[in-house]
Amino acid sequence: MQKYFFEFRQLIKIGIPIFGSQLSYALMGTTDTIIAGRASANDLAGLAVGTAFSNTVWFFFTGIIFAVTPIVAQLYGAKKFLEIGKKLREILWVAAALGLLMAFIFFNMNIIIDLLPIKSSITSITIDYLKAVSIGWFFVTIFTCLRCYSEGMTYTKPVFYIAFAGVLLNIPLDLIFVYGYFGAPKLGGVGCGIATSIVSFIMMISIFVYINISERYKKTKPFFEFTLPSLATTKEVFKLGLPIGLGIFIELSMFSGAAIILSVLGEIVVAGHSIAINIASLFFMVPLAIGLASSTRVGNLIGERNPKQAKVASTSTIILCMMGALMNSVIIILFGSYIVGLYTTEIPVLELAISLIFFAAIFQLPDGIQMGALGSLRGYKDTFIPMILLLISYWIFAMPIGYYLTNFGFGNPYGAKGMWFGMIIGLTIFSFLSIFRLRWIMNSKIRKVLKKGLLPL
């Protein structure tokens, strides 16, 4: 049990700053929504459409960059410090290329948006917002690469401090550019894009400067010399990261698909569902932080050639995620109606959201387990098979079952509840599949090391 308690402490030590960072990123989006919403309904709608497009594309691309964490974590565990610095310099070329590609996509997104059956008063804001934020996503991509480098070596606090400072800076910048304070142009929702780009640039520069002046990073010599792009490293990043990015896209598409399926049922259903899914997502940050911490911890142990302790760390991750998910479920059940009341005062929407909040509580356990397993699998550099399992669970089971129950049910259509049944079924299937995959990988890694005679029986 001492081994497990030791791993609990390690995961919490790494995970708490990650939780703070994730919460900070979410609060930036919340700030944008609140300030743009108070400008006008059109500004809020334009921002919402723009955010939906940008987040989907960004999460796919940033998933590729997430490969940096297990790469660095394993090298750090193996004490190959100079190789870490070299890898970082080579991967920064990949991050810069992906960031430029994203900036180009967002700047020219009007080609797609103009084809959508949305009012021009909304799409004009969306298009200008995406152009304003396009350069910001380039800075965020570089920041994410440096962030994953830092987190892979267990240095998660600096990332949190910078992310939290970004939240605080985002508030006055939003106010200045949305409402036109201090002589700035009054840009409405588009001003949020300007603010995001400025904050992203400052965050990127801040982490770059901190890495250069802090003693703890100097053993990796990250920027002591110039390194050209490496084809081998680029292949490694895409081999690990592309399945992560596609997996995130598959998961996001399930939530987007659910909203589309429910959209035909009217605005009350869509609003109630959106509130419930937003609450579920906020509480999900607890297992998300633990899962991301596990990616670092397991990677470090694999680099140390200590697969037995990596197995303990992976098991500890699942246990912690389950405990966090159960705590979330209890809080949602006890205080769900009060939490929903913070989102809306419209009685029909309120009643529907409260009825769905019970599903959000059930949602927590399989969602937490799968995040713990996914994080550990990334630490083992196992990303392709989990992506296939996500595809099977969400697109073959969750979406079709949810669609059927929503529109037909067993005798009567289940409405919004049917979609939640489908999502919970899909998540449950994936949580079991990911646990089985993790067990196979853990035992396989131990067998390989035993076979090489590097681990005592």
**How many whole angstroms separate alpha carbon 358 and alpha carbon 353?**
9
Least-confidence region, from 31-40, 76-85, 386-395: 31-40
Encoded tokens for 246: 């596609």
CA distance linking residue 65 with residue 71, whole number of Å: 11
Task: Render the burial of 403-425: b for 16+ CB within 10 Å, e for the rest.
Answer: bbbbeeeeeeebbbbbbbbbbbb
Scan for tokens 């419930």, then name that residue.
276
Indicate the pLDDT class of residue 351, thresholds 50, 70 and 90: confident
End-to-end CA distance of the chain: 20
Q: Which of 180, 187, 149 is nearest to 73 (CA)?
A: 149
Q: What is the 3-state secondary structure (H, E, C) of the chain?
A: CHHHHHHHHHHHHHHHHHHHHHHHHHHHHHHHHHHHHHHCHHHHHHHHHHHHHHHHHHHHHHHHHCCHHHHHHHHHHCCCHHHHHHHHHHHHHHHHHHHHHHHHHHHCCHHHHCCCCCCHHHHHHHHHHHHHHHHHHHHHHHHHHHHHHHHHCCCCHHHHHHHHHHHHHHHHHHHHHHHCHHHCCCCCCHHHHHHHHHHHHHHHHHHHHHHHHCHHHHHHCCCCCCCCCCHHHHHHHHHHHHHHHHHHHHHHHHHHHHHHHHHCCCHHHHHHHHHHHHHHHHHCHHHHHHHHHHHHHHHHHHHCCCHHHHHHHHHHHHHHHHHHHHHHHHHHHHHHHHHHHCCCCCHHHHHHHHHHHHHHHHHHHHHHHHHHHHHHHHHCCCCHHHHHHHHHHHHHHHHHHHHHHHHCCCCCCCCHHHHHHHHHHHHHHHHHHHHHHHHHHHHHHHHHHHHCCCCCC
The amino acid present at 347, given as its one-letter code, is I
Say whether pLDDT at 260 is over 80: no
pLDDT at 454 over 60: no
Question: Which pLDDT band holds residue 60 (cuts at 50, 70, 90)?
Answer: confident
Residue predicted with more confidence, 454 or 67:
67
As a whole number, mean pLDDT of residues 377-389 equals 94
Q: What is the mean pLDDT of residues 378-382?
A: 94
pLDDT at residue number 448: 84
C-alpha closest to that of 202 among 143, 155, 141 = 143
Q: Which is more confidently placed, 83 or 2?
A: 83
Mean pLDDT score of the chain: 89
Joined tokens for residue 345: 């005062």
For residue 158, pLDDT over 90 is answered with: yes
Residue 453: pLDDT band (50, 70, 90) is low
